[in-house]
Amino acid sequence: MTQTRTRLERGRGALGPALELVHTGRAPTRAVLTAELGVTRATAGAVAAELEALGLIQVDSRPGAAAGTQGRPSHRLTVAPGGPVVLAAQVHVDGFRAALVGLGGQIVATAPGCMTVPADPAAVLDAVVAAGAGLLRASGRRCLGAGLAVPSAVAEPEGTALNPLHVAWQAGAPVRELFRRSLADAGIPEPAGARNGAYAPSASRAAPEPAPGHRPHIHHQASLGHQAIARADASHGVVFGHTGNDVNLAALAEHRHGAGRGARHLLCVATGHRGVGGALVLDGRLHTGSSGLALEVGHLTVQPEGRSCYCGSRGCLDVEADPLAFLAAAGRDLGPEVSLLQQARELLREEYADPSVRAAAQLLIDRLGQGLAGLVNILNPDRIILGGLHRDLLNADPERLRAVVAERSLWGRSGGVPILPCTLDYNSLVGAAELAWQPVLDDPLGALGC
């Protein structure tokens, strides 16, 4: 057996960790990959070459040297242009959006759809999957999986939508099962690993051989908790078609590719097209609770005598700090042309100088800040990121929001918690794609049927 072959066999257990490092931008060069994996340079080179042969990454062996540097620059590692994609789908109260997403969280193509979401989730799932199938046909790219974001808590391991408040679905709607059925009906093929039962979690693969004196020190990015990514053992194969809550998936995407990178205790709070959601990433793991239902922050009470909430309480953040609440506070009529979220954003951006709009923004900022302060007292995050309309409110008056949180929270007074806007467009879609990419990141060879 040649030395190259020996190095490759030793490094096969490192394929998944290596791909994750490139996928999340934490190994831009082979030198960094070597250090992060804690293996020899030769083993890292063999691992990178294998991932390139699989069509997943690109290795640039002749990168230009940076100004002021000496010596030969290390090989650069990037995700493969034109490589495989996954289908990401999102359902929201105003319709849906489908996308093709490559490694690195790169959105290749999107297709929006406006419709009144019917009581039967199968109708909108068929529509969004059909849109995704059209994108796949047009792209000619290989599809390795599919993920779905929905505006509801998703019970695990059943994959059912628990009490969706802003769409007309029945409680317990089997959205994951229906999504998989839509994929099959649309003729979207399962990846090879799903068909031949080759996929097994990466723990079953041999670990890479570390370099002398080195220990691997991979710091894993956010992963889903409580089986939210369904994994199967080698006798059952990989499950094709994953489902999660939209804000959970937004947090997952931001932690891997956006404003949450590097945070150990990341709190994400965001409006959807309607309502408010939250998610928590603890030490790189998405905290979903005992059954997938944790962090329903929209049902924190911020106005005890406020509006009636769909959950049965009053004055919840869900109805006091979402796009509809902002438009109502500003005294604006709702238009049928575009979504409430888009109307609220345009009003805030284009008419912020109007006293009624500014007052409405300040009111929502104060309510949001009150809710965030309570969460800071309970959770002690090291970073907060805001999405949807909350991102726009933060950008409109960052000092006011940060002051409210600091004044009302013990930890805020002791030093403050960074509050940042989410940076990814369509972060729930990117998070849905992360669900689909996870089996590939865990075991590239098995997921590809090698």
Read off the CATH number of the domain in which 384 is found.
Answer: 3.30.420.40
Instruction: Let me know if residue 99 belongs to a domain.
Output: yes
Question: 78 and 422 in contact (C-beta within 8 Å)?
Answer: no
Question: 46 and 6 in contact (C-beta within 8 Å)?
Answer: no
Q: Which of 46, 81, 116 is the last residue of a domain?
A: 81
pLDDT band for position 47 (cuts 50, 70, 90): very high
pLDDT tens-digit profile of 225-242? 543 333 333 333 345 789
Question: 442 and 406 in one domain?
Answer: no
pLDDT tens-digit profile of 95-117? 999 999 999 999 999 999 888 89
Q: Which of 81, 109, 130 is the last residue of a domain?
A: 81
Instruction: Let me know if residue 433 belongs to a domain.
Output: yes
Q: Give me the pLDDT at residue 235, please.
A: 30
Region of residue 262 (phi > 0: left; psi between -120 and 50: alpha; otherwise: beta): left
- Supply the mean pLDDT for the chain: 86
Residue 32's domain comprises 3-61+74-81
* Cα–Cα distance, 321 to 371 (Å, whole number): 10
pLDDT band for position 63 (cuts 50, 70, 90): low
Instruction: Let me know if residue 371 belongs to a domain.
Output: yes
pLDDT tens-digit profile of 303-320? 999 999 988 899 999 999
What does the block give as tokens for 358?
């500014």
Q: Give me the pLDDT at residue 222, please.
A: 53
Q: What is the mean pLDDT of residues 433-449?
A: 93
Q: Give me the pLDDT at residue 103, please.
A: 98
* Cα–Cα distance, 272 to 390 (Å, whole number): 10
Question: 395 and 421 in contact (C-beta within 8 Å)?
Answer: yes
pLDDT band for position 73 (cuts 50, 70, 90): confident
Looking at the predicted structure, is the pLDDT value of residue 140 above 90? yes
pLDDT tens-digit profile of 156-207? 888 999 888 889 999 999 999 999 999 999 988 776 655 543 333 333 333 4
* Cα–Cα distance, 86 to 422 (Å, whole number): 22
Question: 90 and 16 in one domain?
Answer: no
Question: 366 and 346 in one domain?
Answer: yes
Instruction: Let me know if residue 191 belongs to a domain.
Output: yes
Q: What is the DSSP string of 256-298?
A: HHSTTTT-SEEEEEEE-SSSEEEEEEETTEEE-TTTS----GG
Q: Give me the pLDDT at residue 399, please.
A: 95
pTM: 0.87
Question: 195 and 125 in one domain?
Answer: yes
* Cα–Cα distance, 45 to 30 (Å, whole number): 7
Output 232 or 401, whichever has higher pLDDT. 401
pLDDT band for position 218 (cuts 50, 70, 90): very low
Instruction: Let me know if residue 239 belongs to a domain.
Output: no
Percent of the chain topping pLDDT 70: 83
Question: 228 and 153 in contact (C-beta within 8 Å)?
Answer: no
Looking at the predicted structure, is the pLDDT value of residue 245 above 90? yes
Question: 92 and 16 in one domain?
Answer: no
Question: 324 and 187 in one domain?
Answer: no
Question: 252 and 224 in contact (C-beta within 8 Å)?
Answer: yes
Question: 111 and 49 in one domain?
Answer: no
Question: 404 and 274 in one domain?
Answer: yes
Burial state string for 129-142 with b = 16 or more CB within 10 A and e = fewer than 16: bbbbbebbeeeebb
Question: 411 and 276 in one domain?
Answer: yes
Q: Which of 21, 48, 81 is the last residue of a domain?
A: 81
List the 223-224 sheet strands across, edge first: 223-224, 285-287, 276-282, 265-271, 383-387, 419-421
Q: Count of CB atoms within 10 A of residue 251's CB?
A: 33
Instruction: Let me know if residue 256 belongs to a domain.
Output: no
Question: 313 and 356 in one domain?
Answer: yes
Range list of β-strands (E), 4-159: 57-60, 76-79, 85-92, 95-102, 107-114, 143-150, 153-155
Number of domains in the chain: 3
3-class SS of residue 311: coil
Sign, CA torsion 385/391/395/398: negative
Question: 298 and 248 in contact (C-beta within 8 Å)?
Answer: no
Looking at the predicted structure, is the pLDDT value of residue 64 above 80? no
Q: What is the DSSP string of 190-216?
A: PPHHHHHT----GGGSPPPPBPTT---
